[in-house]
Structure 1
Amino acid sequence: MGRLVYDSTTSINLDDRTLAHLQIVIGAKLRRGESFPFRWKLPDGAGGPPGSLWIAPGISLYFRYDESRLPNINLDWISALTASSNSDAGLRLISEPIAAQDDVRDERVGRL
């Protein structure tokens, strides 16, 4: 179980696979200087109640993975998360869609 730590005050427990996908989407938006809300509702028993954060450049984010090897990336999930992040509601933690093809290893995750 990995963790997203926001401004050293809030931490959200997420599995490493979910965390890796969120890191790609959040990193891309922050590189473009975009601010946005991030909303989540975790499955029952998976880390707490629903919540919302305002993500903006200059706010400290820490992505802490439990495993040393990063998971493969589902490009369909990246697209779905990116689409939600560009909506008026902001980035929402949505379920992973079934990939049309095998997962693709994305080495960019390690550089974010």
Structure 2
Amino acid sequence: MGKLLYGASGVEIEFDDRTLTHVQIVIANKLRRRESFFFSWRDDAAVGEGRSSIWLDPSVPLFFKYFGGRVPSINRTWIDLLTVSANSSGGLQLVQEPDAAPAASPKGTAEQERP
């Protein structure tokens, strides 16, 4: 499990590394443009199954800590969904990862499979 450490007090928010990577990309893009916004998610059952939100602003320190050493593959569709959400009046709402688009077959594969 990765962690997002929020603010000077270092409030720790846990997400799996894959989710945290996608969230980091969207947050970084918003903060790079000096945009402030809410980030909201559903809490895990271990902490009460409620909802939580934080206000993200370029002046608030953030630290992303990952458990694993490898950067996961990026699901562009998920990034797009999260970005649309982040740009809405409700702010960034964490949604489950959609299935990735099917990968294109390598060039020439179709011809090679014909008898």
Q: Same fold (TM over 0.5)?
A: yes
| Higher RCO (Cα < 8 Å, 6 or more apart) | 1
TM-score normalised to the size of structure 2? 0.82
RMSD: 1.7
Residue 53 of structure 2 is matched in structure 1 by 52
Summarize deviations over 1:32-65 as a string: whole Å, max 9, x none.
0100000110343478642110000011000000
Q: What does residue range 58-97 of structure 1 map to in structure 2 within 5 Å? A: 58-97=59-98
Contact 1:42 1:50 in 2 (8 A): yes
Structure 1: which amino acid aligns with 2:60?
I
Secondary structure of the residue aligned to 1:20 is helix
TM superposition outliers: structure 1 runs of 4+ over 3 Å? 45-49
Q: Name 1:5's counterpart in structure 2.
A: 5
The residue type equivalent to 1:101 in the other structure is P
Return the index of the structure with the highest Cα Rg: 2
SS in 2 for 1:81: helix
C-alpha offsets along residues 37-94 of structure 1, whole Å, 9 cap, x if unaligned? Answer: 0011034347864211000001100000000111110000000000000111100110
Q: Counterparts of 2:23 and 2:11 in 1: how far apart (Å)?
A: 16
Q: Which runs of 5+ in 2 are unaligned?
A: 104-115
